[in-house]
Amino acid sequence: MELPAAGARAAAGRALRRVLGAYLEELPEAVALTPAAAGKPALATPRPALCFNLSHSGGLALIAVGPGGTEVGIDVERVRPRRDLTRLAARWLPGEDAAAVRAAADEEREAVFYAAWTRHEARIKCTGGGLSGPPPGPDVTALALAVDPGYAAALATAAATPIRVRRFEFPAGAGRAGPGPRGGSGRG
């Protein structure tokens, strides 16, 4: 969803409650959230039929929802020019991804870095361990998502079955009273 320039975090939270309310058949304002140990949002009253995650960067937010027992993680990053992506990758990314960033041609390095970073963050957010927690195991897989130009994104899950991706788009200021999601669906 597009986020307004002012109050992006609050708008993303309202949109998350709106989406979860639709799944739970509750009013958005009745959906109470609480942060888990590493900050991953959770329902204040856990329900076994629903897992979710939220990410936002710049003017864009993404929400992932999965059936109960199927943890999901999502990450979106606005692509920003940085000076030393190789050093950043070496510090934070798994060895293979850091090596790919280091080996990328200068003109491709930014795209390689952001693709690897969003996959890594989505996997971490899926397990809820945070950047300083234990790395996710090989059962947590991530797939790149095509989103708006100037952004990179990925979705992660530990599901044994294939992931089906449906895209809904909310206008800027999402989360306010008004009609539900619009847009089509696709598979990824």
All residues at 6 or more sequence positions from 166 whose CB lies less than 8 Å from its CB, including other chains: 185, 186
Measured over all CA atoms, what is the biggest interatomic distance in the chain, rounded to whole angstroms? 50
Average pLDDT value over all residues in the chain: 83
* Superfamily covering domain 8-157: 4'-phosphopantetheinyl transferase domain (3.90.470.20)
Distance CA 133, CA 136 (A): 9
pTM of the predicted model, to two decimals? 0.83
Residue 107: band (very low, low, confident or very high) from pLDDT cuts 50, 70, 90: very high
Confidence label for 169 from pLDDT (cuts 50, 70 and 90): low
Domain chopping of the chain, boundaries: 8-157
User: Is pLDDT of 175 > 80?
Assistant: no
When mean pLDDT is compared across 44-48, 108-112, 140-144, the lowest value belongs to: 44-48
Residue 51 backbone class (left: φ over 0; alpha: ψ -120 to 50; beta: rest): beta
- Burial category of 173 from C-beta neighbours within 10 Å (exposed 0-12, middle 13-18, buried 19 and up): middle
Q: Output the pLDDT for position 162.
A: 63
User: Please, are residues 70 and 56 in contact by the beta-carbon 8 Å criterion?
Assistant: no
Instruction: Quick: pLDDT tens for 21-64.
Output: 998 999 999 999 988 777 788 888 877 778 899 999 988 999 99
